[in-house]
């Protein structure tokens, strides 16, 4: 979890906004002073000028007395993305209640909730990986869910998947669960075994496009596969304003 990092980034951004407001206030006052009190005008203040000055001073005093608004905004965002919550997951036909924790990438461009009793999120160079908290051992194929940004189109990503898995046929479909995305499935050709690798990629488009790559094996489809989908349901892009 990186809730402190999220709060620091948010507070920094809000501080920049309030600093900009202070700068604008100072620039406004300078313009008023320049326009009203230059040259002879300083010696001949008409009643309306005095009234305008008084009103401006009142506004500046009120603005200066407004308390720091950053903390309520921080609190509202923390309420929106709570640190921990419960999630119901269907595992092999049985409803299971699981505690999931808020996680995010280094730059906080997205939020995802991870079942940290079973998995952990590892940040890497250009890619984040959610992997089992306990290693499965060499007898098992890779189990992971990778999250990365991309500038490629869904068609280009499908071509990449075709080249990556030449022994699989690639199927593409627009889906709304676990995310509204383009789902790419690598379907094994021929006979399968319990440990046949399964590959599912999701292309999630927004201001930033993400590719989420799920890797597991056939026997784990109703276990790791279902848990990956449940975590992916909580994935949310934090758009830049």
206-221 per-position pLDDT tens digit: 888 999 999 999 999 9
Question: What residues contact residue 180 under an 8 Å CB cut-off, 6+ apart?
Answer: 204
Name the helix (H) or strand (E) containing 156: helix 154-164
HEC per residue, 95-138:
EEEEEEEEEECCCCCEEEEECCCCEEEEECCCCEEEEECCCCCC
| 74: confidence class by pLDDT, cuts 50, 70, 90 | very low
Q: Which helix (H) or strand (E) holds 13?
A: helix 3-36
Lowest mean pLDDT among 19-33, 37-51, 163-177: 37-51
Report residue 57's pLDDT band, with 50, 70 and 90 as the boundaries.
low
pLDDT at 10 over 80: no
* 233 CB neighbour count, 10 Å cutoff: 15
Across 9-15, average pLDDT: 58
- pLDDT at residue number 76: 41
Contact between 150 and 209 (Cβ < 8 Å): yes
| pTM of the shown model | 0.68
> Which pLDDT belongs to residue 82?
87
Mean pLDDT of 38-60: 54
27 vs 122, higher pLDDT: 122
Could you report the per-residue pLDDT of 136-172, keeping only the tens digit for each? 999 999 999 999 999 999 999 999 999 999 999 999 9
182, 172 Cβ separation under 8 angstroms: yes
At residue 66, does pLDDT exceed 90?
no
Structure tokens at 103: 């996680």
Among candidate residues 110, 140, 153, the one with its CA nearest the CA of residue 128: 110
- Indicate the average pLDDT of the chain: 80
Q: Which residues contact 132 (CB under 8 A, 6 or more apart)?
A: 118, 119, 143, 224
Between CA 19 and CA 141 the distance in angstroms is 52
Q: Given this model, what pLDDT does residue 92 score?
A: 84
Question: Which one has a higher pLDDT value, 99 or 11?
Answer: 99
What's residue 231's pLDDT?
Answer: 97
Burial class (CB in 10 A: 0-12, 13-18, 19+), 202: buried
Residues 16 and 198: their CA atoms lie apart, in Å, by 46
């Amino acid at each position: 979890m990186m809730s402190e990092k999220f709060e620091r980034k948010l507070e920094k951004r809000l501080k920049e906004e309030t600093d900009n407001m202070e700068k604008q206030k100072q620039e406004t006052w300078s313009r008023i002073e320049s326009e009203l009190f230059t040259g002879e005008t300083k010696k001949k203040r008409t009643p309306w000028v005095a009234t305008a000055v008084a009103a401006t001073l009142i506004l500046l005093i009120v603005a200066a007395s407004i308390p720091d608004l950053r903390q309520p905004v921080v609190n509202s965002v923390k309420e929106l993305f709570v640190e921990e919550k419960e999630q119901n997951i269907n595992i092999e036909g049985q409803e299971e209640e699981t505690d999931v924790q808020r996680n995010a990438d280094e730059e906080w461009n997205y939020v995802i909730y991870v079942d940290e009793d079973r998995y952990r999120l590892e940040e890497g160079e250009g890619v984040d990986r959610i992997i089992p908290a306990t290693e499965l051992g060499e007898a098992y194929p890779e189990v992971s869910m990778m999250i990365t940004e991309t500038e490629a189109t869904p068609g280009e990503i499908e071509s990449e998947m075709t080249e990556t898995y030449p022994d699989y046929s690639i199927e593409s479909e627009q889906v709304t669960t676990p995310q509204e995305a383009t789902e790419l499935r690598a379907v094994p050709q021929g006979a399968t075994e319990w440990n046949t690798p399964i590959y599912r990629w999701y292309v999630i488009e927004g201001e930033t496009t993400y590719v989420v790559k799920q890797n597991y094996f056939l026997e784990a489809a109703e276990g790791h596969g279902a848990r990956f989908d449940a975590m992916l349901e909580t994935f949310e892009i934090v758009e830049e304003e």
